[in-house]
Structure 1
Amino acid sequence: MRVPARLSLPAALAASALLSGCFSSTGAAGSGEGERLRVAMMQPPRSGLSPLSDDAFKLSRWSTAETLVKLDADGDAVPALATEWKQSGRSWEFTLRDGVTFHDGTDLTAEAVVRSLTEAATASPKPRILDGVDLTAKAKGTGTVVVTTADEDPLVPQRLSSPQLSILAAKAYRGKTVNPVGAGTGPFELTEVDGTSSAALDRYDDYWGGRAKAPGIDVRFVPDGTARAAALRSGEADIVEAVPVSQAALLDEDLITEVPMPRTNTLYLNTEKGVFKDASLRAAAREAIDAKSLVDGVYEGRADVAEGLLGPALPWATGLREPVEGRAKAGDPAGKTVTIGTFTDRAELPEVAAALQQQLRKAGFEVKLEVREYAAIESDALAGAFDAFILSRATVLDSGDPAAYLYSDFASDGSFNISRLADPAVDKALEKAGGTPTGDARRRAVIEAEAAVLATDAAVPMLHERVIQGDAADVAGAAHDPRERELVTLDTHVK
């Protein structure tokens, strides 16, 4: 264990206790070159690391599962497992990269790609990137795949960049669930998963893109933010995901990187039943919220007050946004009781909930809080069990385009519609945004859809987060990705 001299013995012992056995190497030793990377992740797997769930982003951040295309810094599609593509009406033809093998030694073929995409397109529920999308894939020879949608879709390449549409070997689909162990194409092979505790990956020396500098990765899932920060301070971890704001000041500034995120901390209000079925009471809740005090108090200034659902990570949004019209006037809460749910995995959220409780009480609401780990509360939130739910939500995580997020969260048939919103005007605006070609016209349509959502007060955006990542002083090449798709890459290693 590498303990910096500045760390007191009690602090070092506390970190070791919190992470006892945390990074004992569970994977193979590799070639003996360099040290394995020890990574502390925030959220444990929720679906056994199935790529059809949000666990897909872990596979992407570990560089073990890959997609046909990737996104560049501007959100445009660039080659990955596919080298080029072209559109013909509702169909897109993708040319596959030569010389790619899966971690089990089998070749990447059109048949393998079709299998993975078909599994995703026919899953129940579908990956949210396919919300409202009827997609089919067919092989054209061994090296070409034709992807067709029911309606002409300008975002097909961006959709196929989602880690939820990763391409895996046939072995991954033999059971009732998708198992990514030993089935990816990336520079690191997933070799072992210990439930929600840990995972191990070894370098895959036959990777098509070259040889990774690190011999492997040892991952520990550490939901407690204080424990993650302690792991960095004590030298127990090389890379720490999502350092809580409250812990950032306790770390050496040289060890942390702050990145503006396309992530909005939003209060979702249940429009289907309960107190917030009344639009005037939704308006009363919105007017009661003091977002600046949350930014200053809970986030210690390391966040931005929200002007809309889309934040400064999408700079074009501010220039296109206009005042929201058509909102209901605020009613009188008159002592009505509401229950707000949130989760502990993001350390700031319980603090936000406590602050909101006071703000809403001041406005006349009676407020109860229910706080659990995310894996234990998500299903209740989606089922409408709460009057309101506080969520830290990525707005361009999947396709690099916010239309997919808006549809997922606010369309009548959206798969992540926590607000239970069913509004014809919103659905119409979302349909327009989704069907508009990429470019300025699409951006304007997206902002119109945002305004339609905000007019309902189904969601109250409070602040836009910045992610704080911790990298040990001897770590080089770690990715600092606003979209949370990359973390350990070919070049990441311990010096």
Structure 2
Amino acid sequence: MFRKYKSLFILFLAVFLLVACSSETAKEQEKKKKEVNLLFNFATSSLDPNVDTSYVSLRAGITETLVHLNDKDLTIEPWLAESWDSKDGQLWEFKLREEVTFQNGKPMDGEAVKASLERAMKDSLAIKNALRIDSIEAKGNTLMIKTEGPFPEFPSELVHPNTSIIDVTESDYINKPVGTGPFAVSKFTPGTAVDLKRYDSYWGGAAKLEKARFSFNEDANARSLALESGDADIVFRPEIESLANLEAIDGVTVESTSTFRVHQMTMNLERKALQDIHVRKAIDALIDRSSIADTILQGHAEVATGPFPSTFSFAPDYPKKENGMEAAREYLEKAGYKKVHDVMQKDGKPLSFTLLTYSSRADLPLIAQVFQSDAAQLGIDVKIKQIEIPEEYMAANRDWDLTTYSNLTAPRGDAGYYLNATYHPNGALNFSGADDDHLTALIDKLNVTVGQKKRSDLAEEIAMYVDEQVYNSFILHPNTLVAYNSNKVENWITSRSEYYILTNELDVK
């Protein structure tokens, strides 16, 4: 009897150990899964690649565009389109890459791309205005695209994330767009994260990662703490004040990379006070750029004299301007304002501004506060209003005067994008309401100009005119800051365009 129980006990113990080992093995396998958690500074409630201004679908590797921007030399290069050509700058032939499939296995052919572009133009007025397409014809893997007029730089517009190619027959664009990228959507929680899984049949070669999480938190301090605690592997724009602490942690790498971005003071030209150029010059003179770059950005920025970084050939050598409190006061006096009982006023009416800002770029609210303080010394009341999505708010509301806003000005290595979007009456980012016939004519001329030298010269002329008229005020060019666990993450590249983030080459050790 004893032997019987002993045998049963040994059998039970063996089974127990086998289950325990299996459980441990499963846990170990789970640990070894190749995945990363990237924490981004913008939240989104939609993954719709054709309208989402956070561009999460492209950044997370879900979707791709026909044309790609080379971050190193700022030239455009093939992506989903392998080549393109035009004899007159108006009728374009695009050859699509062969054997590309959507994440549902369907082929990406001419008809699918045609349907995707048409859907983008239908749902986004900004894309419709940017592409200026008159017609699209598809035959096999060839597209014939006719623009409304000669448009030599048309291919560069197809770099824009909102032109991402998706399978439009899969209609849940908000929660699960089906693209051609290395990662497919597994789960989307609006405002929190998108969980991704590897698409094994990706045309560029299956991703090295099995899974990824592209999560959101607009609090810079929270992003830094998430990296410190190990809750995140990569964080975009950690809190500036935390950089020294992060760099002191073993295995944490902090990268500060120059981009094509500008922090600017966007001016609502529909507001009466701002229609006076002297008031606009006063605002520009009040901005202490060097102090902001040194204190708020702690040197991770270049002082801006215009929208384009000084390294670009189309960035003019601007004339020296008078800056500071006294210069601002003199401009306001030219506009008819006087300081009475510590209040800057004209015809008995005080000068006041509503200034919009948003926290997803942590330095912008701080810039707004500095401007508010300096303006108060001149007797100008500045009311700061926090908003969430600046593009949506500025487009839908005109109850504001100024906005601390950040924008990519030359993400394709060409000035045409920013000048069209920001100063053309039909521009997608013309929140100022700029409608200057001379300026519009110059931009229209740029749009039909061929040759980099001629385009750069004309773009420089336009930028100089914008500066003379003080249509918006430019503060600084911030670096992109990324911190990541380099003990774990491999093949990370900080994109200067900020478009390409999760790629098929990203890996873990």
TM range (shorter): 0.7 to 0.9
Deviation of the 1:450 alpha carbon:
1.2
The match for 1:410 among 395, 410, 423 is 423
Aligned to 2:117: 117
- Partner Cα separation in structure 1 for residue 174 and residue 293 of structure 2: 40
**What secondary structure does 1:249 align onto?**
helix
2:313 alignment partner in structure 1 = 316
Q: RMSD across aligned C-alpha pairs, in angstroms?
A: 2.4
2:245 paired residue among 245, 250, 259: 250
Identify if the C-alpha distance between structure 1 residues 215 and 276 changes in structure 2 by more than 3 Å, giving closer, same or farther: same
The equivalent position to 1:379 in structure 2, one of 381, 385, 393, is 393
Q: Secondary structure in 2 aligned to 1:255? A: strand
Give the alignment partner of residue 464 of structure 1, picking from 453, 459, 477: 477
How far, CA to CA, are the matches of 1:264 and 1:296 in structure 2? 16
1:56 Cα offset (Å): 6.3
Identity %: 27
Equivalent residues of 1:270, 1:418 under 8 A apart: yes
Deviations 1:352-408 (A, max 9, x none): 000011222223422211123236x842465322111110111123x4422111221
Q: How far apart, in 2, do the equivalents of 1:182 and 1:164 lie?
A: 13
Q: Which residue of 1 aligns with 2:267?
A: 269
Q: Who is 1:88 aligned against?
A: 87
Q: Report the secondary structure of 1:392's partner residue.
A: strand
Aligned to 1:310, what secondary structure does the other structure show? coil
Aligned partners of 1:224 and 1:347 also within 8 Å: yes
Distance 2:96 2:395 in 1: 40
Instruction: Identify the residue that residue 64 of structure 1 maps to in structure 2.
Output: 62
SS state at 1:93 partner: strand
- Once residues 440 and 394 of structure 2 are traced to their aligned partners in structure 1, the CA distance between those partners, rounded to angstroms, is 24
Q: How far does residue 179 in structure 1 lie from its aligned partner after superposition?
A: 4.1
* Residue pairs, 1:145-294, within 5 angstroms: 145-172=143-170, 174=171, 178-179=173-174, 181=176, 183-252=178-247, 254-294=252-292
Aligned to 2:11: none
Corresponding residue of 2:40: 41
Tell whether the 8 Å contact from 1:244 to 1:346 is kept in structure 2 after alignment.
no
TM score, norm. by length of structure 2: 0.84
- Paired with 1:381 and 1:135, the residues of 2 have a C-alpha distance of 23
Identify if the C-alpha distance between structure 1 residues 61 and 132 changes in structure 2 by more than 3 Å, giving closer, same or farther.
closer
How far residue 115 of structure 1 moved from its aligned partner, in angstroms, is: 0.4
* Residue type at the aligned position of 2:114: V
Q: How much has 1:108 moved relative to structure 2?
A: 0.8
TM-score, with length taken from structure 1? 0.86
Q: Could you tell me how far apart the structure 2 residues matched to 1:114 and 1:227 are?
A: 42
**Are the structure 2 counterparts of residues 94 and 261 from structure 1 closer, same or farther at C-alpha, using a change threshold of 3 Å?**
same
Counterpart-to-counterpart distance in 1, 2:117 and 2:212: 28
Residue in structure 1 matched with residue 347 of structure 2 by the alignment: none
Which SS does the other structure have where 1:126 is aligned?
A: helix
Distance in 2 (CA, whole Å) between partners of 1:146 and 1:121 is 16
Larger radius of gyration: 2
Aligned pairs, number = 455
Structure 1 residues 441-480: aligned runs within 5 Å: 441-473=454-486, 474-480=488-494
Q: Which amino acid aligns with 2:142?
A: T
What is the alpha-carbon distance in structure 2 between the residues aligned to residue 230 and residue 103 of structure 1? 34
Deviations 1:331-352 (A, max 9, x none): 2343211111111111111110
Whether the aligned pair in 2 keeps the contact of 1:118 and 1:136 (CA below 8 Å) is no
Deviations 1:198-239 (A, max 9, x none): 111100111111121100111221111111111111111111
Matches of 1:67 and 1:451 in 2, distance apart?
32
> 1:300-350: per-residue Cα shift (whole Å, max 9, x none)?
1111111211114x43244x434399xx98223432111111111111111
CA distance in 1, matches of 2:236, 2:320: 36
The answer for the alignment partner of 2:331 in structure 1 is: 330
Contact map agreement 1:288 1:363 (CA 8 A) in 2: no
Render the CA deviation track for 1:173-192: whole Å, top value 9, x for unaligned: x36xx347251111111222
Aligned partner of 1:390 among 384, 387, 404: 404
